[in-house]
Structure 1
Amino acid sequence: MMLRAAAFVLLSWALPAWAVTCEDTRYQGNSYTICTVDAAKEELRLFLYNDEGAPYGHFNAIDRALQSDGETLSFGMNAGMYHDDRAPVGHYVENGREVMRVIANPGPGNFGLLPNGILCLRPGRADVFETLDYVDQSPNCAFATQSGPMLVIDGALHPRFLPDSTSRFIRNGVGTTADGSKAIFAISNNAVTFHEFGSLYRDHLKLPNALFFDGNISRLYAPDLKRDDFGFALGPIVGAVEPATR
């Protein structure tokens, strides 16, 4: 018995401490999958173009590229609106290189429903900024993607969200803690309104800032849940990267 106990303790000690957790939950009658990434322990990146300059488009294409470098994708989600050629609609930075400038003016569609915002990834932290705040602060982001509208701005819902809205879609987005230590990604498993989705972030997850990524084309890669959504070829994708042997 003592040998078995010792072996169990040794095995438990050797197991990795995963820093990405995904779970299904219900809130106000709607179903969501929520993935929490510990930004202090996990490496979050944005992916758009491969080494040949072609869009990755799908999670498995990113994972194959990572595998060749001894890494693997442990989480993934579409991360911002894009044109037909999958180029980003708004600001986009990858590995410190700006691919698309900041778009600060109002425009058509959800992206132009100001205020919109930017997810900024830096070593050890992740932050959602309202776009004008991002411009003022000019954070040195290793990766950044702009989308819109903001879901939650400094603890308040976007002012254009209506409780009685009839516009319902599958939606996904991201929120960050005030200290930037955690990024919480969510995707609805049934069609929801902006008000319902924003309320998830403000009232259930209690995050000060959250950003809408997209609706209808929303996709999630969560191996722990055996989930690998397919369909539309995607533009910007956010993912957590692990050593392949972990």
Structure 2
Amino acid sequence: MRARIALAGIAPALLLCACEAQPEGEPVVRTELGEAVPVDAVEEIVESAPTDMTAGSACTPAAFEGVTLTHCVADPESHRIATGLAPKSGEKFGTIEGWAAGRNEGAIAFVMNGGTFGDDLKPIGYFVQDSERLVELNRGDGSGNFFLRPNGVFFGSEGSWRILDSETFLRTVGDRPQFGMQSGPMLVIGGELHPEIQDDGPSKAIRAGVGMDAQGRAHFVISQEPLSFGKLARFYRDSLKVADALYLDARSPSLWDPASGRMDGGRVGPLLVVEKKQ
């Protein structure tokens, strides 16, 4: 079933770039935390999840305080995680569908958008693909969600995955991971909400995140309807019981779940790819 989400009142460049660095010397602007995209002009088609999830899916419906969500679990016993980049050209450029063309659908558990990107679809923060660092850690100041410190890094190698705030990552991680991506802000840090996130603020948007539990599993969540930063963070902390969770890009959160037939059509750049172990 397709649901149309209207995105309006902003220039196309803003749709593709969540946040730009401010001129040197200016303070970080905090007022944009969770600022929802207005919903009254440019249409972006996003396919909603089917009512019944297929039995083999790693994704299941969830609900929290009246909001419906999709919750996908990556388990290191049965999955591996990699990063990818949506194509920058072609008919399906900037979409998961474009990235998926020609790939073995049976090998994919699910794919989700993987953090903030610029108008060139490239990540604006740390990004490692197949152990190759394509973008260095971004420690700059700027406006928008990414720059609300602490932001963080989701990374891992050989079935061991972690989320750390960016400064801790810089201080403590010396080896290059197999995959890594920087996004922000952190939602949950050591079991506590990010200090600048309200429990349930007034800004509502379709949102996505990733969190790690004590068993080493990665929990990917994408909302089916607008919700606040705080509500998403509290779902991670209170329902999923994760100690650390990281926000993913909010402009067009997208999910591909081959088992259920879901393929969202939002504009994406970096991707988090969860593959089945053979």
Same fold (TM over 0.5): yes
| Counterpart check, 1:240 vs 2:274 | yes
Residue of structure 2 in register with 1:190 after alignment: 225
Counterpart contact for 2:58–2:109, Cα < 8 Å: no
**Deviation at 1:104?**
2.4
Residue of structure 1 in register with 2:98 after alignment: 61
**Deviation at 1:47?**
0.3
Of residues 224, 243, 255, the one that matches 1:220 is 255
When the two chains are superposed, the root-mean-square deviation of aligned CA atoms in Å is 2.3
Distance 1:187 1:49 in 2: 19
Structure number with larger C-alpha Rg:
1
**Deviation at 1:56?**
6.4
Of residues 107, 122, 127, the one that matches 2:162 is 127
**Deviation at 1:176?**
0.9
Distance 1:211 1:173 in 2: 6
Secondary structure of the residue aligned to 2:222 is strand
Secondary structure of the residue aligned to 2:58 is strand
Distance 1:76 1:33 in 2: 13
Distance 2:214 2:172 in 1: 15
Counterpart contact for 2:199–2:234, Cα < 8 Å: no
**Deviation at 1:133?**
1.1
Unaligned runs of 5+ in 2: 1-54
Instruction: Give structure 1 regions of 4+ aligned residues with deviation exceeding 6 angstroms.
Output: none
Work out the percentage of aligned pairs sharing the same amino acid. Answer: 30
Q: Which amino acid aligns with 2:189?
A: I
Correspondences of 1:1-246 after superposition (within 5 Å) = 21-48=58-85, 57-67=94-104, 72-138=107-173, 139-179=175-215, 181-232=216-267, 234-242=268-276
Distance 1:164 1:183 in 2: 24
Aligned length: 220
Give the structure with the higher percent helix: 1
CA pair 40-135 structure 1, distance change in 2 beyond 3 A? farther
Q: When the two structures are superposed, what TM-score results if normalisation uses the length of structure 1? A: 0.82
Q: Which amino acid aligns with 1:152?
A: V
CA pair 134-56 structure 1, distance change in 2 beyond 3 A? farther
Counterpart contact for 1:40–1:125, Cα < 8 Å: no
Counterpart contact for 1:63–1:73, Cα < 8 Å: no
**1:76-103 Cα deviation digits (max 9, x unpaired):** 1001000001010100011111111101
